[in-house]
Structure 1
């Protein structure tokens, strides 16, 4: 989620094109990259649905002890968390313009414009969904009013009791909002700091070191909290707050710096790209497979390690010489369509799952009912997400056209200029 920004324009996916670039050559490559990113996003959104159905059936299994998937290797696949992917992808896309300004010079978009467009992208659907779900679960006033306030102010991630209330997965949007604020503060600052550096390599090094420090910080926090202070993993604000989870955003920022630093140089040959992708996917799977105990090392540091692997997977997908079967799979139309509506899918899939569950429309708890439950929730949630995108998300996104890139109101009637 997004982290979860879902509809990224071609320009924002690759950053502004240099003045000397040839549009005819650049456009197809950018379109392919945008489609691949949408396919990535669609895949991650579907895996998120599977994970939360798994979580529902794991948590509410009749004896509370067995996973809904009896085979531990299959269970590791369906229980794979992908929230770090959304953090990495969001940070990568949104940091590109700042990284370009810091490394190659140029201006950055005013912070107020950036925040306005992010707000237009996230808030309308989020506010509507939170208010609707909260109202259906609190039919009499005042209800759990503090829960509503925390969700509408994106502060639920700091609440131990209500972090997963109303729409549980949206705790990650709290971190998204905080990342936006950090980015509009650090991005222009990095650009100004790099102007005095004559060598491009020095500017790249400054940006890379900054990203590395942002990535290492959460590692240190988690280590101190877990092994120094012996804080249990169920202290959600400690391990879900920005101090613990910003490693995912830092990895995405590092990827943006790497991509700008490389430009069109060093494009990966298939002999290198394919092993990198395989290593990243296998690493993600092993993290899920081996992190069986809540307090063991791999589970404790799952998210910063996962973010690093997602970064490698993205890098080995977008910085390549030739696009092959992997890219064709990512760009199939139905998958990019899911990617287009992935924010709606992210917001609505848990309320839809719980509504179906409480209405008795999902199979009984336990191992036998889980596969069919995944199919039912997937079909209903994807259909609902498609409706939500076209009825709520897309119309709201048009509000972003009210201002130009410098934050000035657009003139939609230029022919009227100068008339008395």
Structure 2
């Protein structure tokens, strides 16, 4: 007997996002460049008895340069990786869901070879005599440095976010199949959508509750990094991406698609909200306390305006925009390598005296770091990341070994 979930009506099939791959890759490229500039911005802050002084005196320009985009990576990653589970749970497309071991294998060959190489190289240069800070090395290799207040930003400072990515992978392969099985018992599509949406809402609300408890009940300072950087505080970004996957699967087809003007308006509103968050940097401000959940919701809106738009005209004409320009998608292709290497590049350039030492030299320093980080990222992608990613094609979707690689490795 065929259950309702295994035979969804054709008009509610989930939309495929293959045609939006370039837009997402270009957006990832912009985000990677923004991340590099943001960390140079942090490096050029000066501190004295009067407080912190940013490298740019104009607060409006400073808000743009210091805009954090890490939540975009979380939302986008969760959206892409949750799609197959959402389609299986809502529309019964269970053949698209890879077994957990295959999913983890592909994620591992995607991120671990380059990450482990970078950790070993950077740690060894900063610990020339053994045993060195062996605890820092062990924590980075096991993705547990996000729980260490002292070492969270050691070795590869930005890599705390990879600890959250790994936590999300484990959460997804645990909750995804549970959601699929739970939805099998629901007779209507509306009930399946409601169950999946409710689960995402709970996962988004839990970090809000934790941040509120830590900040206003326990009065934990923001500088206790594991409290506010750990998965219990930052999972909202992944929950927002999971919710976006559920929403677009639920809408299906042309339902809910925005016209170009509405999409532009929603994009402008989301970017305006993100800019306002960056401008309101007072640690005592409510917006600062809940910066990342709010930012995740705004990135959710921006991605919706990017992915679920009515296209007027053939696809090639669409792909002439900024997000699909060759340079943006090129940076997006190497964005993981750029993300891994840009901080060591910046610190090495500074140690060698190749960056200006004064705050006034920030623009020159930012440009220099971007150029060298892109060069290092390009070399790293083709020499390490791309060859390693080919291993992901060694198994098919069911985990069986393949004898050849029919196409290039997919980008993240």
How do 1:245-260 residues align onto structure 2 when only pairs under 5 Å count? 245-260=234-249
The question of 1:294 aligning with 2:283 is answered: yes
The structure-2 alpha-carbon separation of the partners of 1:61 and 1:85, relative to structure 1 and needing over 3 Å to count, comes to farther
| Partners of 1:61 and 1:339 in 2: CA distance | 38
The structure-2 alpha-carbon separation of the partners of 1:330 and 1:356, relative to structure 1 and needing over 3 Å to count, comes to same
Question: Which of 341, 358, 363 is the equivalent residue of 2:351?
Answer: 358
State the SS of the aligned residue for 2:52: coil
Question: Which of 191, 194, 201 is the equivalent residue of 2:180?
Answer: 191
The question of 1:401 aligning with 2:401 is answered: no
Question: Which of 188, 202, 210 is the equivalent residue of 2:191?
Answer: 202
C-alpha RMSD over aligned residues: 2.1
Alpha-carbon shift at residue 65 of structure 1 (Å): 3.2
Structure 1 segments, 4+ long, off by >4 Å, are: 18-21, 59-64, 323-327
Question: In structure 1, what is the equivalent of residue 156 of structure 2?
Answer: 167
The structure-2 alpha-carbon separation of the partners of 1:221 and 1:183, relative to structure 1 and needing over 3 Å to count, comes to same
Question: In structure 1, what is the equivalent of residue 208 of structure 2?
Answer: 219
Question: Which of 118, 122, 127 is the equivalent residue of 1:133?
Answer: 122
The question of 1:267 aligning with 2:251 is answered: no
Provide TM-score, normalisation by structure 2. 0.91
How do 1:376-395 residues align onto structure 2 when only pairs under 5 Å count? 376-395=368-387
Tell me, yes or no, if the aligned pair for 2:115 and 2:340 is still in contact at 8 Å: yes
State the SS of the aligned residue for 2:45: helix
| Partners of 1:251 and 1:118 in 2: CA distance | 20
Tell me, yes or no, if the aligned pair for 1:58 and 1:64 is still in contact at 8 Å: no
| Partners of 1:322 and 1:277 in 2: CA distance | 16
| Partners of 2:185 and 2:231 in 1: CA distance | 31
State the SS of the aligned residue for 1:268: coil
Question: In structure 2, what is the equivalent of residue 55 of structure 1?
Answer: 42
State the SS of the aligned residue for 2:53: coil
| Partners of 2:250 and 2:161 in 1: CA distance | 29
| Partners of 1:43 and 1:32 in 2: CA distance | 19
Alpha-carbon shift at residue 232 of structure 1 (Å): 0.4
State the SS of the aligned residue for 1:330: helix
| Partners of 1:237 and 1:172 in 2: CA distance | 12
Question: Which of 254, 267, 274 is the equivalent residue of 1:277?
Answer: 267
Alpha-carbon shift at residue 353 of structure 1 (Å): 0.2
The number of residue pairs the alignment matches comes to 388
Question: Which of 53, 56, 60 is the equivalent residue of 1:66?
Answer: 53
Tell me, yes or no, if the aligned pair for 2:319 and 2:325 is still in contact at 8 Å: no
How do 1:327-366 residues align onto structure 2 when only pairs under 5 Å count? 328-366=321-359
State the SS of the aligned residue for 2:152: coil
Question: In structure 1, what is the equivalent of residue 408 of structure 2?
Answer: none
| Partners of 1:238 and 1:152 in 2: CA distance | 21
| Partners of 1:412 and 1:127 in 2: CA distance | 26
How do 1:136-151 residues align onto structure 2 when only pairs under 5 Å count? 136-151=125-140
The structure-2 alpha-carbon separation of the partners of 1:327 and 1:273, relative to structure 1 and needing over 3 Å to count, comes to farther
Question: In structure 1, what is the equivalent of residue 76 of structure 2?
Answer: 89
Tell me, yes or no, if the aligned pair for 2:104 and 2:169 is still in contact at 8 Å: yes
State the SS of the aligned residue for 2:276: helix
The structure-2 alpha-carbon separation of the partners of 1:93 and 1:327, relative to structure 1 and needing over 3 Å to count, comes to farther
State the SS of the aligned residue for 1:369: helix
State the SS of the aligned residue for 2:310: coil
Tell me, yes or no, if the aligned pair for 1:317 and 1:327 is still in contact at 8 Å: no
Provide TM-score, normalisation by structure 1. 0.89
The structure-2 alpha-carbon separation of the partners of 1:332 and 1:32, relative to structure 1 and needing over 3 Å to count, comes to farther
Tell me, yes or no, if the aligned pair for 2:311 and 2:318 is still in contact at 8 Å: no
Alpha-carbon shift at residue 20 of structure 1 (Å): 8.1
| Partners of 1:53 and 1:113 in 2: CA distance | 38
The structure-2 alpha-carbon separation of the partners of 1:278 and 1:272, relative to structure 1 and needing over 3 Å to count, comes to same
Tell me, yes or no, if the aligned pair for 1:61 and 1:68 is still in contact at 8 Å: no
How do 1:24-35 residues align onto structure 2 when only pairs under 5 Å count? 30-35=17-22
Question: In structure 1, what is the equivalent of residue 64 of structure 2?
Answer: 77
How do 1:11-22 residues align onto structure 2 when only pairs under 5 Å count? none
- In structure 1, the gaps of 5 or more residues are 1-17, 414-420
